[in-house]
Amino acid sequence: MIFSPEKKTRKKFSHRVSAWEKVSGYSGRNIVHDGKYLEVVKYSIPASDVALTDKKIVFFSDLHWMGGSSRETKIIREAVKFIDAFRPDVIIYGGDLVSYASRIKSGIDALKSLPAAKTRIAVTGNWERYKKWISDSSWKEFYAEGGFDLLINQTCTAEPFCFYGIDDIKSGSPEVNTDFSGKYNVLLAHSPDTAIFAGRGDVLKKINLILCGHTHGGQVRLPFIGALQTSSRYRLKFDYGHFIHNKAGTHMLVSSGIGMSCVPFRILCRPEIVFIEFVNAI
């Protein structure tokens, strides 16, 4: 199946939002490592197939690498330590590597420093797509140098998973052109807005899990209030957390990411990486 957004209908997909229910938000996170510079949040997802049991995925997003400041270097070092201990089968990066093109080389070096895994894949974010002068092939080469396979409306199979990386809806050209025929199908979308676009009923029922970043969890959160705003057409609906579609049963995880955008600080919203472990559903 192939479809892509049309200009006339791209702005609103409100009819697809009501079926998404939040299971846990920022205050309900399962923090398994409260590091000095970042947190590690763990999700245990029921294994729908025996082949999934004990499989592990690391997901992180939104580095917005500025060139290797002391803060950035310490965050990466801590991430390496935690990922090494988790020993994932798959490492996934959710886009927005750098804000400025001059930082691409050092951003790629940061990715390169991460632990090895059988599969390491990435998707484009809006900041990659803002740089219209950089071709898809160039982005793929950059990420390959960092040890990641960049998916732009493409599939990557790593049994028992089938991953589909969709381009960003804000500044890219997202398309869904796969039948999602794996034992466990995972949609990688930088923004939850892209996931909602892709979530037509005939597609969503074939997707088991969606991984997103982009919102930064709001980046600035206040006690008892939460995020003040996010870069989403749905405002705070998908600011952060674990969501389940009440008709399709699809899980969606939205991470607060690692870096900072627009304002150079976070308030009550720490950088994080996500550990996902598939557990016996019985």
CB 273 within 8 A of CB 83: yes
- Candidates 9, 1, 17; CA nearest to 176 is 1
Which pLDDT score is estimated for 106?
Answer: 95
What percentage of residues in the chain have a pLDDT greater than 70? 94
Q: How confident is the model at residue 282 (pLDDT cuts 50, 70, 90)?
A: low
- Write down the mean pLDDT value for the chain: 92
The residue written with tokens 């998916």 in the block is 151
Q: Cβ of 8: how many Cβ atoms within 10 Å?
A: 6
- Candidates 205, 185, 204; CA nearest to 195 is 204
Return the ∠ at Cα 237 (arms to 231 and 242), rounded to 5°. 105
The answer for residues whose C-beta is within 8 angstroms of residue 241's C-beta and 6 or more apart is: 22, 23, 24, 25, 26, 28, 29, 253, 254
Residues β-bridged to residue 123: 151
CB 59 within 8 A of CB 92: yes
For residues 254 and 201, the model is more confident at 254
Which pLDDT score is estimated for 280?
Answer: 83
Lowest pLDDT segment from 12-16, 114-118, 120-124, 250-254: 12-16
- Candidates 261, 269, 192, 274; CA nearest to 27 is 269
Q: ω before 88 within 30° of 0 (cis)?
A: no
CB 223 within 8 A of CB 268: yes
Its sign, for the CA torsion 56, 205, 239, 102, is: positive
The answer on pLDDT for 18 being more than 90 is: no
Superfamily designation of domain 21-280: Metallo-dependent phosphatases (3.60.21.10)
The answer on pLDDT for 184 being more than 60 is: yes
Q: How confident is the model at residue 245 (pLDDT cuts 50, 70, 90)?
A: very high
What is the DSSP secondary-structure string of 67-115? Answer: S--HHHHHHHHHHHHHHHHH--SEEEE-S--BSSGGGHHHHHHHHHTSP
How far apart, in whole angstroms, are the C-alpha atoms of residue 65 and residue 126?
A: 14
The answer on pLDDT for 1 being more than 80 is: no
Domain borders along the chain are 21-280
- For the stretch 189-200, pLDDT in tens is 999 999 999 888
